[in-house]
Amino acid sequence: MIRLCAPHELAEGQSRGFACDDLKLLAVRRQGQVYVFENRCPHRNVPLNWSPDQFLDPSGSLIQCASHGALFLIESGECVAGPCAGQSLQPLECREDAEGLWIAPL
């Protein structure tokens, strides 16, 4: 397993970016659950973040693409508004324990 960070380093309602080898990821904690996706918009294949660790819309309830404003559900990665509506972010399985947030090696 690959450790992304300690659990306390991703607060409730926050997002954070990670780089694992050549793969860029984003993680969001919502209602105690952590969701991890590839940091790549399905519309243009570009990173989603506005600036480091800034992946959420102003309400903090959706992931938003900085390039064209597409909005994605945090729980599934499904695009619900914008030019890639109906497409989804690529999810990665994540587990959490007292030592960290972990993803399986790719």
CB count within 10 Å of CB 63 equals 24
Strands annotated E in the chain: 2-5, 15-20, 23-30, 33-38, 62-64, 71-73, 79-81, 91-92, 94-97, 100-103
Q: Which domain holds residue 40?
A: 2-103
* pLDDT at 22 (0 to 100): 86
Predicted confidence (pLDDT) per residue in 22-53, tens digit: 889 999 999 999 999 999 999 888 999 989 99
Q: For residue 21, is pLDDT > 90?
A: no
Find the CATH number of the domain harbouring 36. 2.102.10.10
Q: For residue 106, is pLDDT > 90?
A: no
Q: Per-residue confidence at 20, pLDDT binned at 50, 70, 90?
A: confident
* pLDDT at 43 (0 to 100): 87
* pLDDT at 54 (0 to 100): 95
Rounded to the nearest 5 degrees, what angle is found at the Cα of 32, between the Cα atoms of 31 and 34?
105
Query: How many domains are contained in the chain?
Result: 1
Predicted confidence (pLDDT) per residue in 55-98, tens digit: 999 999 999 999 989 999 999 999 999 999 899 999 999 999 99
Q: Per-residue confidence at 4, pLDDT binned at 50, 70, 90?
A: very high
SS3 16: strand
